[in-house]
């Protein structure tokens, strides 16, 4: 997993959760909505995906203040068939629109065996794993896509076309061995570069290029990222954009308003959530036992040099969560300072280190 080297300050997860919730309440976000978004951000940090955790909270607040994200959106679901529907996010926090799509997809799947829900008029929805894991907890296979503004060079190109366009696939397993793959189709997430810029540290050469198409280690100069796996990641990212934009009527690729552009402009993001019920195929317990067996047998594979053992998709995040629940969440000193400024602007006490 790609990382940046920077100084951090450990913060207790419960205190961080209360802080995020209080900040969102101060922006007139309803209590239940603030509670979920705060949980989503902190859970993402606990799992080690710091690119999509509390570091993004100041940005959401700026957009809430600018009006491009509505604190009290009118989120609506329209059923379009026995296993299909569309959620209109009402230009609210994307976490809420995607949560609604996840719940609606699960209900459709419980009734018809599968549910597919497209999303429109949304905004940045954070990490996808919490949605996929929510479906796994209900005994379903989860498939979650989202797209973002142009940040990634298509294979053979020298400038960006589509976003980092992540994908999440989840499958419930027994004995704590639920599989969850949550990854960007770029070599690294854009927000990892954003975090490096906030912390004032360089990035490794090969992650992205500047405005002239030249490789750069200056996080503030990056204008486009490389796809992972050359043509493979490029093609997958483009197809995810199709799933997210064409079904929902959302803009695609170069037409998507930029996350860090005009803060007063609506993002108009799309997405797609799929749920496949296991019960119509076989007994849920049998499925989960077999997934658990697969995960265990992966761990039996002899490790390559430099590796302790082979881990199943989602296992590193579970290990990180256990560590961070005990020792606190490491927050970059730059982000910690920004959160302090945010607290002051909301009339809240500052965060305290562990």
- Tell me which residues are annotated as active site: 124
3-class DSSP state for residue 243?
helix
To the nearest 10 degrees (0 to 180), the angle between helices 13-26 and 333-346 is: 40
Residue 189 structure tokens: 């997430």
- Adjacent-strand bridge partners of 181: 169
Calpha distance 56→40 (Å, rounded): 12
Give the residue among 18, 54, 60 at the shortest CA–CA distance from 349. Answer: 18
Beta strands in the chain (DSSP E): 8-11, 76-81, 84-88, 114-122, 140-146, 167-171, 179-183, 208-209, 224-225, 269-277, 329-332
In the sheet that holds 167-171, the strands lie side by side as: 76-81, 84-88, 114-122, 269-277, 140-146, 167-171, 179-183
Instruction: For residue 296, give the H/E element and its range.
Output: helix 284-299
**Contact yes or no for 339/351 (Cβ under 8 A):** yes
Calpha distance 273→104 (Å, rounded): 9
3-class DSSP state for residue 58?
helix
Instruction: For residue 288, give the H/E element and its range.
Output: helix 284-299
Give the residue among 265, 274, 227 at the shortest CA–CA distance from 121. Answer: 265
3-class DSSP state for residue 67?
coil
């Amino acid at each position: 997993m790609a990382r940046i080297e920077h100084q951090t300050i450990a913060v207790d997860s419960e205190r961080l959760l209360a802080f995020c919730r209080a900040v969102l309440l101060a922006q007139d976000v309803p209590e239940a909505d603030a509670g979920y978004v705060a949980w989503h951000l902190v859970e993402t940090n606990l799992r080690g995906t710091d690119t999509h955790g509390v570091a993004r909270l100041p940005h959401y607040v700026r957009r809430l203040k600018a009006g491009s994200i509505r604190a009290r959106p009118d989120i609506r679901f329209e059923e379009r068939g026995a296993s299909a529907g569309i959620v209109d996010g009402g230009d609210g926090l994307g976490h809420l629109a995607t949560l609604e799509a996840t719940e609606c997809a699960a209900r459709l799947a419980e009734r018809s065996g599968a549910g597919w829900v497209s999303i429109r008029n949304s905004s940045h929805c954070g990490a996808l794993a919490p949605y996929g894991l929510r479906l796994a907890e209900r005994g379903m296979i989860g498939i979650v896509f989202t797209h973002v503004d142009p940040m990634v060079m298509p294979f053979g190109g020298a400038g960006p076309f589509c976003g980092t366009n992540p994908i999440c696939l989840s499958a419930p397993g027994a004995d704590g061995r639920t599989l969850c793959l949550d990854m960007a189709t770029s070599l690294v997430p854009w927000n990892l570069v954003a975090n490096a810029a906030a912390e004032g540290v360089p990035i490794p050469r090969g992650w992205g290029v500047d405005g002239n198409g030249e490789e750069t280690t200056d996080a503030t100069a990056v204008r486009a990222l490389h796809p992972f796996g050359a043509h493979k990641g490029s093609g997958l990212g483009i197809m995810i954009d199709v799933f997210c934009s064409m079904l929902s009527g959302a803009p695609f690729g170069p037409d998507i308003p930029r996350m860090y552009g005009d803060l007063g402009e609506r993002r108009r993001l799309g997405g797609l959530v799929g749920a496949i019920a296991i019960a119509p195929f076989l007994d849920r317990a049998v499925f989960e036992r077999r997934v658990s067996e697969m995960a265990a047998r992966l761990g039996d594979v002899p490790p390559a040099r430099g590796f302790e053992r082979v881990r199943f998709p989602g296992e590193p995040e579970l290990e990180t969560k256990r560590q961070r629940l005990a020792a606190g969440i490491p927050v970059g000193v730059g982000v910690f300072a920004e959160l302090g400024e945010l607290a002051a602007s909301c009339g809240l006490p500052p965060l305290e280190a562990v």
